[in-house]
Structure 1
């Protein structure tokens, strides 16, 4: 299964990791339901064509009359030609760190968090048109100057959208921060007793395996492998003690590839083989 990791595929490999990044995306052929792992939040300012994005529980279509802020995560998107022969959008990516800096500076009253929608639709206007034109001049500047200007332009954009959409947009920005931790822990809790591997759970959390392990240890104060084994073996003991199931009935459902590995892990944990429970 091919998955486009964005914006990674747009960033030159010899560059350091960036927390603000703009990219002009152009194409002359339509792309239908591309599998995307978006690892930064992204503004998509569509200039020509249409964009259709499918999320786990909703979808949205925008054209050149609208722009869209998309929450980082997995999605499917289609990029469609309209009357023009070229699809063109300007993309502006930003990291969690940059967003937190902005919120700490500009939003003094932190309201109770709301669940983050997968996207926020923005109606284009003359100010945004002018703003996008100003972004186009930044890429030609030296790297250090370009980075400084991007920081200013990022702040300008969010300040303007807050002035335009008031607390609705403030709440959305706040939800992008608070939802990250809760969705991470929710994904973990929902897959405690699944057959998914750590790599697969990490993907569902929109993280590399190494990043996933760092987040996990920060949240749970223990390695994910040890934590999952503990939870799954305790569940196994609970199921066996009820007397209705045997080891051969449950080991696959608790993430073990064979009965022998399960029995060995169980005996190491409880000092007795599962068949003796």
Structure 2
């Protein structure tokens, strides 16, 4: 699967490297688990549809009631149509330099957080709706004015969100410019034990090729990643079935199996009985 370099994919002139950039992303069919190399921090203002983003340590699903601020880096995202025929998301990208300029102007010096969460969820409200409407009108002004106007709109947005979320949002902004630490390999792996992600997708989220991921995994766990994940997921399946409220048809997709037959066969090989025999 190819990797989408964002926002470069959306910029018509490859020589341009804007520090602020707005893009209206629209589509008419679902896009599932696109591999994304996000090269700028990004606000995602979903207007219609649903958006799911997988990170190395977590995932998030939002509709048009929430927006996201997403840290730059590798992720997988799915864009899903809801009842509407068109998926529409307004994206606002910004550079670290613009963020540093804002922080030096508006936030007194404070200790930088040790961890940087992959995203910050924003509850939409009437102010943000009005803000997005005004942001859309910028596309109609002469190009010479766009950068200055986007600078004003960027500052307006951050000032408002600091007012809304107080120090929680301040700390998140500070964390975006903190020196990035290497994420825990084991933490990333174990957060995805029960996800539907493939080994290749988990490796991508860990910023590794599949072959490097496998070597690193065997060094850490002394077993191949395929066998380890399969055993962990089957143990979870047995636990869910023993609870008595779910059937194998309810859980196999969530445990990474594409069809019920493969799940049942793997379960029987592991435990010597079919899922329906679990009591």
**What TM-score do you get using the length of structure 2 for normalisation?**
0.65
- C-alpha distance in 2, partners of 1:21/1:144? 14
Check conservation: 1:50, 1:61, Cα contact below 8 A.
yes
Partner of 1:34: 34
- C-alpha distance in 2, partners of 1:164/1:183? 31
Q: Deviations over 1:138-191 (max 9, x none)?
A: 0111122011000000000000000000000000000010043x349x99xxxx
Does structure 1 residue 13 correspond to structure 2 residue 16?
Answer: no
* Equivalent residues in 2 for 1:115-264, closer than 5 Å: 115-180=115-180, 182-183=181-182, 204=207
- C-alpha distance in 2, partners of 1:157/1:85? 29
SS in 1 for 2:178: helix
Using the TM superposition, give the Cα deviation of residue 204 of structure 1 relative to its aligned residue in structure 2, in angstroms: 3.2
C-alpha RMSD of the superposition = 2.1
The number of residues matched between the two structures is 190
Please tell me whether Structure 1 or Structure 2 has the larger radius of gyration of its CA atoms. 1
- C-alpha distance in 2, partners of 1:115/1:144? 38
- C-alpha distance in 2, partners of 1:110/1:72? 22
Check conservation: 2:47, 2:64, Cα contact below 8 A.
yes
Partner of 1:24: 24
Partner of 1:108: 108
Using the TM superposition, give the Cα deviation of residue 15 of structure 1 relative to its aligned residue in structure 2, in angstroms: 5.0
Using the TM superposition, give the Cα deviation of residue 112 of structure 1 relative to its aligned residue in structure 2, in angstroms: 3.8
**Which consecutive unaligned segments of at least 5 residues does structure 2 have?**
186-202, 209-279
Does structure 1 residue 59 correspond to structure 2 residue 62?
Answer: no
Partner of 2:90: 90
Partner of 1:237: none
Check conservation: 1:21, 1:93, Cα contact below 8 A.
yes
SS in 2 for 1:170: helix
Partner of 1:248: none
SS in 2 for 1:76: strand
Structure 1 residue runs of 4 or more that deviate by more than 4 Å after TM superposition: none
